[in-house]
Copies of this chain bind each other. A is one copy, B any other.
Amino acid sequence: MSDQTRDPQSHPGVPPKAAYHHGDLPAQLIAAVRDLVELHGPDGFSVAEAARRAGVSSAAPYKHFKDRPEILRGVVSEAMDRLRVAMQTGAAAHPHGSLEAVAAVGRAYVDFARAEPGVFRLVFGLTEGHQNAPDLLAKGEGCFGVVVAAAAACMRLPPDDPDVQSRAYMLWSCVHGHSFLTIDMKHKVASAGIDDWTYLMAISHAVLEYPLRA
């Protein structure tokens, strides 16, 4: 029983660091799942294949995650963290309260969708049946909060103003739809000819400065 022949089917590329106990299996698992989701789509992922990629048996994941949905939720949670950070850094790259800052938040959103379409789809396709996950709910609120903050600064109103909330929601929905259509229609001429920044600036301008109650 030498500790070198521990893994009869491991990929040869795996560094022979951890012998029996894996260094950080949960993190490696959600990384593997992220790759798989990006490769085969949100539904084309299997716990077994993720375990295979991590070099462990197909039962090992269940020591760290209750079931398959919980693994997915882990991926989503991590992705939402990254999305929120990206949106914040996008806004911070422009003057506080500027329209550009609002558009930059949207661009971070679209960029995320374009860079990780599978994960993006997973994040917003997982709400079906997972409404009971309070942490995901909270992270979603956090992301929306970034939009609200940028919109409020631009409108010089407090973030809890109802008009700010409404317009932030409208902005979010437009960018959300644009992101989905972008990754869905990558074969077609993207966005009927307008590039991201033009789209985002136009939408931000129109939504934030147009009188809502006509």
Binding site for B on A (CB under 8 A): 40-44, 117-118, 121, 124-125, 127-129, 131, 162, 165-166, 168-170, 172-181, 184-185, 187, 191-194, 198-199, 201-203, 205-207, 210, 212-214
Contacts and interface: CB of A to CB of B under 8 A. Distances in A.
A172 B176 CA distance: 11
Nearest to A144: B192
A191 B169 contact: yes
A106 B184 CA distance: 19
A129 B121 CA distance: 13
A168 B192 contact: yes
Contacts of A201: 214
A180 B170 contact: no
Contact of A41 (B128, B172, B180, B212): B128
